Structures are given as C-alpha cells and as structure tokens.
Structure 1
Amino acid sequence: MEEYDRLMDINVKGIFLGMKYVIPVMEKQGKGAIINTASSAGIRPEHSIAVYSASKHAVIGLTKGVAIEYANKGIRVNAVCPGGIVTPLFHSVGETLEKSGYVPEEMSRVRMGRHGEPEEVAEAVLFLASDKASFMAGAIVSVDGSLTV
C-alpha cells in the first residue's frame, strides 16, 4: 500500500494539484497551455509495473477530461508519453525488470534502433506549449520510438 500511495501521489495527485493551482491563473489570462507527463506505460501496460501503468493511465484520463472542460476558456491541456528515454530512471527500470526475471522483448528490440534522448521529449513539450499547437487539446503525444504502435 505504501508503494501504491507513493506512486499515485506523485504521478496522479501531483498532476491534479498542479492543474488545480495553475488553471485559475490561466482563466484570468484567458489562455494557457498545460503539458502533463504520462508515459508509454499509460498507453500500453507493461509487465511488473501495473500500478505505475495505472497511474499513467490516470494522467491520460485527467488530461483528456480537463482538456474538454477548459478548451472553451483558451486553456489547452495535452500530455506527452515518453518511453525508452535514456535517463537514470530508465536504467533503474531495466535493473528492476532484470531482478524480477522478466525482461520485455522490446527492451532488446527497439524499433528505431536506439532509445530516445531527454531533449527529444523536451522538443515535443516545447511544441505543445507553443502557438504552433494552438488547435491541439486533449492530445496524447507519444515520444517513444514507436513502442506503443
């Protein structure tokens, strides 16, 4: 239960509270862009991380629901879903999976021949925050090298 509560607090409650406090400011401005971070695991669950996956599914649901509620107020809410991005977390997940005795096929068979870089996720976030994405709300943008296709 402690791990469940920790994951839900960080991944879901954190997103919810962030939106709760920024939306009133954006409503006063008459515009805004919120970009939530979900995960490829929120699109396609993975072995050994069911609670993490559920929390990221919740982020996608919150993103879409809030996008519907605030689109007519000039507030765009979207999410990025990174997967296979080379970060310290990426390495620790790999170690956890190896210890569990289960390593998904996609860990060794990356469709694009490489894992992603943090800068590639940052570019997607910058795009969603920009006026170039002015007609996007409720979008779930995968940055995962086709992992979830």
Structure 2
Amino acid sequence: MSTHQRWFDDLTDQASRKSAAERADLPVSTLNFQYKRGEFSADVVVALARAYGVSPIVALARTGFITPDEVVKGGASEALQLASDMDLLAEVGRRIKASRAVWDMPLDKALSLPEQDPDYFERVAETGPEDDTEP
C-alpha cells in the first residue's frame, strides 16, 4: 500500500472511493484510477482534504507534494499577504495589548516597544519609551 493510499484510507476512515469522490465532487473514475495507481494528483489531494475538513496544506505535506519545512517557511508570509487590512490591524492590536496609549502613538514607535512587561505600555504612555529604564 502506497503512502497516498494510506493517507486516503485514514482521511476517509476507509470510505468507499465512490463515496469519497462524490463528497469531494470528483469523477469516480479519476479517484479510482489514481488510487489504484497509488498516487493522487495535487488537485485531487486538495479536493479530498477540503471535502473532509482537513487543511489542504497539511494534506499536501502528508502526501509528499510539499515538505514540512515549506509549510512552516511559507506559512507566515503567505498568510500575511492573504490577510485583510482589518485582520492585520487586529493582530497588531493584539500584539501591543490594545492599550489606548499605544494606539495613540505613531505606528513605528508602537511597533518598536518591547513586549516583556504587560505594564510597560502604560508606563510608556506616561513617561515615553526613552525614559523607561526597566527591562
């Protein structure tokens, strides 16, 4: 049994290929041919993963189309490119603890603040970062 066949059987909980093809909106003949060959195309892997609620990225890694390193390396920068402006702003807010004092600062100043102390942002609002001597 090939890696792809094992992946398919695990993913579908050993469902029939007909059932899996219908669920993934794939031609049964395509799924049967690729299963018997022991290798799915990347398109079929993605369609099956989506149909069964699994990350297509993880499915592509498990079937050898991409390496785990490629998943990690491309993940953050790719996700940032796809994120909406509101998602990016929400993440920046989360990272700067959404302190009103920090939101009132210029963005470059807010992003340069250290993160180690949760009270740091409040002190900075009162004294400014250059006057803060705590680590």
| TM > 0.5 fold call | no
Give the strand-richer structure, 1 or 2.
1
Provide TM-score, normalisation by structure 2: 0.24
Greater relative contact order (CA < 8 Å, ≥ 6 in sequence): 1
Query: Quick check: which has more Rg, 1 or 2?
Result: 2
Provide TM-score, normalisation by structure 1: 0.22
